[in-house]
Amino acid sequence: MPKQAPNVSFRDTVRCSDPEDIFRLAESSGIFYPEETAVARELAEERLIRGTSSGYDFLFAETNGAVIGYTCFGPIPFTQGRFDLYWIAVQKDLQGTGVGRHLLELTELRIQAMKGLRIYVDTSSRKPYAPTHRFYHSCGYHQEAVLMDFYAPGDDKIIYMKALSCR
């Protein structure tokens, strides 16, 4: 039986409680290293401190006031219309319900509104990331490059890209 998507609302402001919610989401996935979950939290803290000058934008998915997913993205310095999707995470028990896809679609619309033309995503080649690779492919991203042994021996960096249509 397919999982049922919850009633979800979205917001783009970062609240003081968000760094801990982000850390919890990233940690609960079971695939990120501890230093990666710490960085996820730090990006939200940076946004709280520096605002838009941080270069990090966020979109949060919530149900009943609780954060169940988020994206972190921003323009790539010294490029024209190129953006990085730094993070996308959805509460583990809600993965496969469409929350992540909706979150990514809304993020893409926000990037387009910011004059974004391409989105790049870096991810690991490790086996726990196989569902992530399928997710990006199903959302219209294609593998642009592989940097062999980037993260560690046997752990390649896979770069996905999606060109956004002009509006």
Instruction: Name the CATH topology of 9-163.
Output: Aminopeptidase (3.40.630)
pLDDT of 1 > 60? The answer is: no
Give residues with Cβ within 8 angstroms of 164, minimum separation 6: 108, 111, 112, 116, 117, 118, 119
Q: What is the pLDDT of residues 8-38, one digit of tens each?
A: 999 999 999 999 999 999 998 888 888 999 9
pTM of the entire predicted model: 0.93
Q: Indicate the domain borders of the chain.
A: 9-163
Instruction: Output the six-digit token pair for 106.
Output: 């809304």
Half-sphere exposure of 39 toward its Cβ, with a 13 Å CA cutoff? 9
Q: Summarize the confidence of residues 126-148 as an average pLDDT.
A: 96
Calculate the CA 104 to chain-centre distance.
8
Residue type for position 40: A
Range list of H helices, the chain: 18-28, 34-50, 99-113, 130-138
